[in-house]
Chains A and B, each alone.
Chain A
Amino acid sequence: MAEISLKKVVKSYGRTPVVHGIDLEIADNEFVVLVGPSGCGKSTTLRMIAGLEDISDGEIRIRGRLVNDLPPRKRNISMVFQNYALYPHMSVRDNLGFGLKIAGQSRSVVAERVAEAAGILGLSDLLDRLPAELSGGQRQRVAMGRAIVRHPDAFLFDEPLSNLDAKLRGQMRAEIKKLHQKVASTIVYVTHDQIEAMTLADRIVVMRDGHIDQVGTPMEVFNHPVNTFVAAFIGSPPMNQLPAVVDAGRLRLEDGTTIAVPERLRARVRAGQKLILGVRPDDISPEGYGLMEDGESDRVDLLVDIAEPLGMESLIYSRLAGQEVQAKLYGPRLVAPGERLTCRISLSRAHLFDAGTGRNLEAE
């Protein structure tokens, strides 16, 4: 129930800056996911919002109120930690009720809110257990319950699912999504798992080395990555990136193969320009086995190195101009290593990046 605003926020440890002046506006009830590789400053940013780290420079506002110098307890936020941080000497009930008791709520209010949260998260039968007597998924739920009982302005999650196994992670991901719908509240969620980011986020914030590279809805970030880093980071398997030079109106790859310049980009390239062609595996498919065959395209021949059949689709590993490329075949057809395939490259969905800066030619 609050908007969060970061303006030129900087964090330095001693003389080393680790977050370099980031700007971010988070709307009321928005689910924002911070993604990025390890060490890029996601946790640090989240902890600055929580008040667990001092801000070296800039401004953080929650609900319009400047919180730079407020301790965590005065910010009315909840946080779910990666290791859950359940109080080991307290029962589940006391863990859930702790924040309310500290706030001086009456016993009946505490009991009522604890029961409510336990109901939402399916913890009602576990209230008298100690954290040590719970499974990983149950501890995770208690941690979320502790966050929701206080009806905070915003929830902060720091990689809450990274300690769970794959199956449970999928389950909890769905629960978090449901929770967001039930308790309607602003959520800032940190992860380095791009599937979590894509499935949960209203908007994704892609971070690298203490900077924000791109902010956008999952589809914006997926369809219009602003640079090669975002292109490679979002989407699985990652986007193929092939160095190319503009030559006679076509893109010449390092081995001489040429591919047409996408029509919409013709006006933006000049002869001799060094570029990187970005094409997702979904957009390179053997003829007749593509996902979207309409629209502008070009052809390349690929020699199959390895094929991974996944049922209705196969992932094909090949090489093009000395680079490993991945292609996708849609349909119940098996391909064998060594097979030569004529593939369509969907140009309407391809991207061109500047080889020097890595920026998408279409990015502003």
Chain B
Amino acid sequence: MTRALKQRLSAAALWLVTFLLMVIMCIPGLWVVLSAFRPNREILARPPVWVPERLTLNNFAKIFGLGEAQVAIPVGSYFMNSLVIALTSTFVALVIGMAGGYAFARFRFRFKNSLFLSLMLLRTVPAIALSLPLFMLWSRLGIIDTQMGLIIVYIALNVPFTIWLIDGFFRQIPMSLSEAAQVDGCTRWQAFWKIEFPLAKGGIAAAGVFAFLTSWNEYALAAQLTRSTDSKTLPVGLMDFTAQFTIDWAGMSAMAVIIIVPALILTFLVQKHLIRGLTFGGVKG
């Protein structure tokens, strides 16, 4: 076998494996998206109908309370709750993450390593294990079924992660850049915003996307801590489609699409930044 042929074969094999993995990962998602545009009858058909015969927007009309549906689901409120909770908690987690990440990357202080380690250990506790104590605490504090209650929980979930990620990005930026800026006339604060922040921007955006997605998609804790349209988020709202004996698969799929789309859009928007952020660290010496 010639070298060129070998190379081609291995490239083809690699492509095939990647493709198979992609298919495995994508099919459930694709099925959900397809189902969102098909009538319930077709979804439940046996044997399954693979290629949709009729596409419809009825499912969406239904959950927004348009058309012939009997029970509308308050998707609008859920969406707003999700948005407010995810954006606020992401913003706060990013601010804390930037301050903490910078401090861990740049300053020397006592118990630095143990503090960092304990932050990381926080991540090892499964969120669901906290749900009962959280529920009790939150009900004492009277913040069950409020946006604030969930926002606090998500900040706590995300902060260790944002600190860890952002610390890594600041660490890649040589100290001498900030020092050069200070010699050039900046205060430390100016040096941060003019030099270090622009260089870490991609990493901070990455941390923001991850934090946002965590909050946006979280179900287990939200299901415990929310009750009504005051604070219910989209993933919890999905359960509104299950009745005692039936599940409205079509409506549920349509709602799932509504959950997925903003997340996808966000990821695409910052994708350029993400990749740059993950590779830009190479400040040549």
Contact = CB atoms under 8 A, between A and B. Distances in A.
Interface of A: 50-52, 71-73, 77-79, 81-85, 87-89, 98-99, 102-103, 131-132, 139, 146, 150, 163
A145 B180 CA distance: 13
A132 B280 CA distance: 11
Of A72, A82, A99, the most chain B CB neighbours within 10 A belong to A72
Contacts of B180: 79, 81, 85, 87, 146
B181 A98 contact: yes
Given A85-B177, A163-B285, A73 B198 contact: no
Contact of B179 (A78, A81, A98, A146): A81
A323 to B, nearest CB: 40
Contacts of A78: 183-184
A84 B285 CA distance: 7
Nearest to A163: B285
A15 to B, nearest CB: 15
A73 B285 contact: no
A83 B198 contact: no
B186 A85 contact: no
Contacts of A163: 285
B185 A85 contact: no
Given A84-B285, A89-B198, A132-B284, A98 B176 contact: no
Contacts of B77: none
A73 B177 contact: no
B274 interface: no
A84 to B, nearest CB: 7
B195 A83 contact: no
Contacts of B182: 51-52, 71-73
Given A81-B180, A83-B285, A88-B283, A99 B185 contact: yes
Nearest to B284: A132
A77 B184 CA distance: 8
Contacts of A73: 182-187
Contacts of A82: 176
Contacts of B187: 71, 73
A79 B183 contact: yes
A131 B177 CA distance: 13
A52 B284 contact: no
B106 to A, nearest CB: 13
12 contacts: A50-B179, A50-B183, A51-B183, A52-B179, A78-B183, A79-B183, A81-B176, A89-B198, A98-B181, A99-B184, A150-B184, A163-B285
Interface in B135-190: 174, 176-177, 179-187, 190
7 interchain residue pairs of minimum CB distance: A99-B184, A83-B285, A85-B176, A85-B180, A102-B185, A72-B182, A73-B185
Contacts of A50: 179, 183
B199 interface: yes
Contact of B183 (A77, A87, A131): A77
Nearest to B179: A52
B123 to A, nearest CB: 31
Contacts of B190: 102
A140 to B, nearest CB: 12
Contact of A146 (B174, B176, B184, B283): B184
B195 A87 contact: yes
A98 B177 CA distance: 12
Nearest to A89: B198
Interface string B251-285: 00000000000000000000000000000100111
Interface in B178-210: 179-187, 190, 194-195, 198-199
Contacts of A146: 180, 184
B182 to A, nearest CB: 5
Given A71-B182, A72-B183, A87-B195, 10 more contacts: A50-B179, A51-B183, A73-B182, A79-B180, A81-B180, A82-B176, A88-B280, A89-B198, A102-B190, A146-B180
Nearest to A98: B184
A71 B182 CA distance: 8
Nearest to B199: A89
B158 to A, nearest CB: 27
A242 to B, nearest CB: 43
A95 to B, nearest CB: 9
A71 B198 CA distance: 23
A114 B283 CA distance: 23
Contacts of A87: 177, 180-181, 195
